[in-house]
């Protein structure tokens, strides 16, 4: 009897948590499809006579959705590429190679995670915009995210798990370190590459603050920034301004959520844990 009650309680709590987590997404979808805003409780149910896709073209009138999506994509791809290359090289070196200063580099990797962005925001802005002249450019958007300590730690962790004998054998066979990295190490850590890609994809795709600071040209702004500006501008000339903003929110949310759902196995606590604890 007490056991059943406990079970009921457990699933009740889990269900409540799931509803709380997912309800706003349902509301995002319904709100994006409404012809006229309906905030009553009945409005939460889809009403066929009040459904439309017009909100999507509504935001497209204010800013080019395709341009914004493309900008988001370029920024994200740039960040992921840099993260993978730098992360693989540094992770491999830290796990497998003995070189002077290895301890120092590893300390740096951990230290970088501890530096808060608020302290860097203003000086980084001054440097990138005033000294490097990278305002309104992809390079400027990508730069602060190009090094990602989490990726280095993920790769280091994976390389450490590979038996050292594999690398020693390749060396005995006369392979140079670069050759070993390319033909032995990288193929062995394919799962880590996928994990690192997924984990680092979300950051730049969702990032608002930094691109908001350094892009003033609407043609260069990623979707998160365009959408925030659109939502701030109180686009009253829209038939359903809320619907338009929520439609944009869907466009921004869908790629990250879909990728996550497809690859959710890779977002296990073990991966996150190892990424954080190093």
Q: Which of residues 214-233 bind other proteins (CB under 8 A)?
A: 224, 227-228, 231-232
Choosing from 25, 53, 161, 262, the residue that interacts with other proteins (CB under 8 A) is 25
Provide, rounded to whole angstroms, the least separation between the CB of residue 74 and other proteins.
17
Residues 38-57 that bind other proteins (CB under 8 A): 39-41, 43-44
246 binds other proteins (CB under 8 A): yes
Least Å distance between CB 186 and other proteins?
Answer: 13
- The first and second tokens of residue 233, run together, are 């501008």
Cβ 99 to other proteins shortest distance, Å: 3
Nearer to other proteins, 53 or 97 (CB): 97
Q: Measured from the CB of residue 193, what is the shortest distance to other proteins in angstroms?
A: 16
Smallest gap from Cβ 216 to other proteins, in A, equals 11
Q: Return the number of the residue (73 or 146) whose C-beta is nearest other proteins.
A: 146
Please list every residue from 107 through 146 that binds other proteins, using CB under 8 A. 108-109, 112, 115-127, 130, 143-144, 146
Name which of 37 and 64 has its Cβ closer to other proteins: 37
Closest approach, Cβ 10 to other proteins, in A, equals: 5
Whether 156 and 94 have beta carbons less than 8 Å apart is answered as yes
- Our measurement of the distance from residue 87's CA atom to the centroid of its chain's CA atoms, rounded to an integer in Å, reads 16
Give the interface size with other proteins as a residue count (CB under 8 A): 94
| Residue 260 touching other proteins (CB under 8 A) | yes
User: Which span (45-53, 54-62, 90-98, 186-194) binds other proteins, by CB under 8 A?
Assistant: 90-98
Rounded Cα distance between 247 and 125, Å, is 31
Q: Which of 53, 110, 169, 209 binds other proteins (CB under 8 A)?
A: 209
In sequence order, what are the residues at sequence separation of 6 or more whose Cβ sits closer than 8 angstroms to the Cβ of residue 65?
A: 56, 59, 223, 248, 251
Q: Distance from CA of residue 204 to its chain's centroid?
A: 5
Buried b (16+ CB within 10 A) or exposed e, 210-245: bbbbbbeebebbbbbbbbbebbeeebeebebbbbbb
Among 8, 13, 110, 239, binds other proteins (CB under 8 A): 13
261 binds other proteins (CB under 8 A): yes
User: By 3-state DSSP, what share of the chain in percent is helix, strand and coil, each rounded to 5?
Assistant: 80, 0, 20
Q: How far is the CB of 49 from other proteins (least distance, A)?
A: 19
| Residue 44 DSSP symbol | G
Q: How far is the CB of 148 from other proteins (least distance, A)?
A: 10
Residue 190 as a binder of other proteins (CB under 8 A): the answer is no
Tell me the backbone φ, ψ of residue 166, rounded to 5 degrees: -60, -45
How far is the C-alpha of 35 from the C-alpha of 118, rounded, in Å?
A: 41
Distance CA 248, CA 57 (A): 10
The C-alpha atoms of residue 224 and residue 230 are separated, in whole angstroms, by: 10
5 scored as a contact of other proteins (CB under 8 A)? no
106: phi then psi, degrees, rounded to nearest 5: -65, -40
């Amino acid at each position: 009897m007490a056991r059943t009650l406990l079970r009921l309680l457990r699933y009740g709590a889990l269900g409540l948590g799931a509803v709380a987590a997912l309800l706003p997404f349902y509301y995002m979808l319904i709100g994006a499809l409404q012809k006229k805003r309906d905030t009553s409780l009945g409005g939460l149910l889809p009403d066929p006579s009040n459904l439309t896709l017009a909100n999507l073209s509504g935001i497209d009138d204010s800013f080019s959705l395709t341009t914004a999506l493309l900008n988001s994509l370029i920024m994200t791809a740039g960040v992921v590429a840099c993260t993978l290359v730098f992360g693989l090289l540094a992770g491999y070196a830290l796990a497998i190679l003995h070189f002077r200063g290895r301890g120092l580099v590893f300390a740096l990797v951990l230290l970088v995670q501890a530096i808060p962005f608020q302290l860097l925001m203003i000086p980084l802005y001054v440097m990138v915009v005033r000294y490097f002249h990278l305002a309104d450019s992809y390079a400027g958007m990508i730069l602060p995210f190009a090094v990602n300590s989490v990726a280095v730690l993920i790769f280091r962790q994976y390389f450490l798990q590979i038996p050292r004998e594999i690398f020693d054998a390749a060396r005995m066979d006369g392979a140079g370190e670069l050759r070993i990295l390319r033909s032995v190490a990288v193929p062995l850590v394919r799962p880590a590459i996928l994990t690192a890609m997924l984990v680092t994809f979300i950051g730049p795709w969702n990032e608002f603050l930094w691109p908001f600071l350094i892009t003033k040209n609407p043609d260069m702004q990623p979707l998160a920034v365009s959408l925030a500006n659109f939502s701030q501008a109180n686009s009253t000339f829209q038939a359903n301004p809320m619907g338009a903003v929520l439609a944009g929110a869907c466009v921004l949310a869908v790629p990250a959520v879909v990728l996550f759902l497809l690859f959710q196995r890779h977002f296990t606590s073990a991966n996150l844990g190892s990424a954080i604890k190093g």
